[in-house]
Each structure stands twice: as C-alpha cells, then as structure tokens.
C-alpha cells in the first residue's frame, strides 16, 4: 500500500509506556530515496528538543487515532543522543543513534502500511535504556563518508526542471509502506499545465541543486505532460503504479524500484 507522506506528519508517538511527542519531519537518503528517520518533537518532555526514531522501531500505525506505536520506552527516547540538531546528520551521529538503541544499520524496510497496520519487528530488540552493545558492531570506516540524509520539509517547494524547461515544484511524496521508499515525487504543475499533479520516478532525477532549490530530471516536458495525471481523491494502488512505470519505460526512462 502507498500513502502520501505528508498525511503522516503530525502523528503522535505512542511509546510502550505512554505518549511521547509528535512526528514533524522525515529524513530520507537522497541516493536510495528511503526514509531513514522519523523526526520527533518531544514537546514538554525535553523542552521542545527533537529526536530521531528509526522506522524499524515502529510496531504499528493507527490511522484513526493518528499515531505511531513504537517498541521503545519514554526513557529510551528521552535519553536519545541529539547531535543531529545541526543538519545534515553525519554518519557518525547516525552510528551513535544505532548504538544507543541497538538498531541494525542494515535494516531494509518493514510494512508500515499493510492492511492490518502491523509492521515487522526490528532486526534487533532495543536494549533497555539503550545500554549495551549491538550484536554486529558498526564499522566506523563505513560511516566516514558524508551523509546523504535530506529533510522532507526542506525539499518541498523545490522546482523541477525537465531537459527542456521547468515543470513545476515538489509538493509531496508517495511512500511505499513495504520498504519505506519514496516511490514517486508528486509535482504540482500549476505554473505550467492547468494545475495538474503528476508523479515522477526518483530514478529520473539527475541532479539536486540544494543551494538553488532545483531538481533536474532526465525527462522531457512531453514525457511528463503525457503521463497519467495523479488525482489525490482516487486511491493510488500497484495497478496505477505499474501503469505509470510503463509510461516512463516507454519514454526511455528505466525506473529503479527500491
């Protein structure tokens, strides 16, 4: 099942022993286009500080009550390192978070949006209060490179440039709950094509100019204009996704699904 990611913003975090803050942002990897962290505002618990919670800690999602249930205590979350306050988050800061919670850095996804709402369990159970070492210590050499983490809140509004002109701007993302992958960029073309919204595959992105807030894609204006229009009032399922991918394949763009 796929879900517009902005609909999950504002969901509460329900720890094993009570509520703890709300989700205010999502950090994703600009290379893999996977959500790597939920950014949680702790509210009164830590004077408005923000902490990161890994998707593998989420045990279920309650759409009716708008909350994420997590396999963590409030004390574990409260004691979380907060070196990430200065973005971008470094790999070393991520490593400290993995070690604090005992999470697996090789985690590859769990079904956040299944029909039952249940999610897969973490690869490793978080140790109580985060003390103790992980079963597979993280090799510092693998985290020495620069972080590729980016903020969902940051990228909304970035202009999209096709090979032959500007298309519109990023309005949202379509999240694949089976892998926590951002399957499609939702683009508002109101300044170009009568306000239609179109979906673009992340694999078509060739460059992101963070200083100029632009995203360049390897597609023509015609490729995008002739793609199926996205209607937010109509449920988006795998059939619609395959139809869209077929369109981009026929346009010479090979989607790389995560």
Give tens-digit pLDDT for 48-107.
678 888 888 888 889 899 999 999 888 888 877 765 555 566 677 777 777 777 766 666
Q: How confident is the model at residue 217 (pLDDT cuts 50, 70, 90)?
A: very high
Band of the pLDDT at 124, cuts 50, 70, 90? Answer: very low
Within a 10 A sphere around the Cβ of 183, how many other Cβ atoms? 23
Place of tokens 């999470």: 103
More confident residue, 199 or 249: 199
Span(s) in the chain for CATH 3.90.50.10: 156-250
Q: What is the pTM of this model?
A: 0.76
The CA distance from 205 to 167, in Å, is 13
Query: What band does 234 get if pLDDT is binned at 50, 70 and 90?
Result: low
Residue 165: strand pairing partners? 162
Q: Which residue has the higher pLDDT, 79 or 143?
A: 79
pLDDT reported for residue 241:
76
In the predicted structure, residue 23 carries a pLDDT above the cut 90: yes
Q: Could you tell me the sign of the dihedral formed by the alpha carbons of 118, 121, 126, 128, in that order?
A: positive
pLDDT of residue 69: 94
- Residue ranges of the chain that CATH labels 2.30.30.240: 8-151
The pLDDT > 70 percentage for the chain reads: 68
Tokens of 96: 């400290």
CATH 3.40.50.170 fits 156-250, yes or no: no
Nearest-angstrom CA–CA distance, 180 and 176: 6
Classify domain 8-151 by CATH number: 2.30.30.240
Mean pLDDT value of segment 232-251: 70
The Cα–Cα gap between 67 and 60 comes to 9
């Amino acid at each position: 099942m796929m879900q517009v990611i902005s609909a999950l913003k504002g969901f509460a975090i329900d720890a094993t022993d009570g509520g703890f803050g709300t989700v205010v942002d999502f950090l994703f990897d600009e290379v893999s286009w996977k959500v790597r962290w939920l950014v949680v505002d702790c509210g009164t618990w830590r004077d408005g500080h923000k902490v990161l919670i890994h998707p593998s800690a989420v045990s279920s999602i309650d759409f009716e009550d708008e909350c994420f249930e997590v396999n963590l205590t409030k004390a574990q979350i409260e004691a979380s390192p907060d070196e990430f306050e200065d973005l971008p988050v470094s790999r070393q800061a991520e490593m400290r978070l993995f070690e604090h919670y005992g999470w697996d850095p090789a985690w590859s996804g769990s079904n956040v949006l299944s029909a039952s709402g249940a999610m897969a369990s973490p690869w490793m159970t978080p140790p109580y209060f985060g003390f103790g070492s992980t079963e597979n210590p993280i090799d510092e050499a693998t985290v020495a490179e620069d972080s590729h983490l980016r903020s969902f809140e940051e990228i909304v509004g970035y202009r999209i440039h096709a090979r032959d002109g500007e298309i519109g701007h990023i309005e949202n993302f379509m999240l694949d709950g089976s892998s926590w992958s951002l399957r499609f960029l939702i683009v508002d073309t109101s300044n170009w094509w009568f306000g239609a919204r179109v979906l673009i595959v992340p694999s078509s992105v060739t460059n992101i100019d963070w200083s100029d807030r632009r995203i360049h894609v390897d597609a023509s204006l015609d490729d995008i204009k002739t793609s199926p229009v996205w209607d937010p009032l109509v449920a988006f399922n795998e059939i619609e996704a395959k139809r869209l991918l077929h369109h981009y394949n026929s346009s010479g763009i090979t989607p790389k699904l995560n």
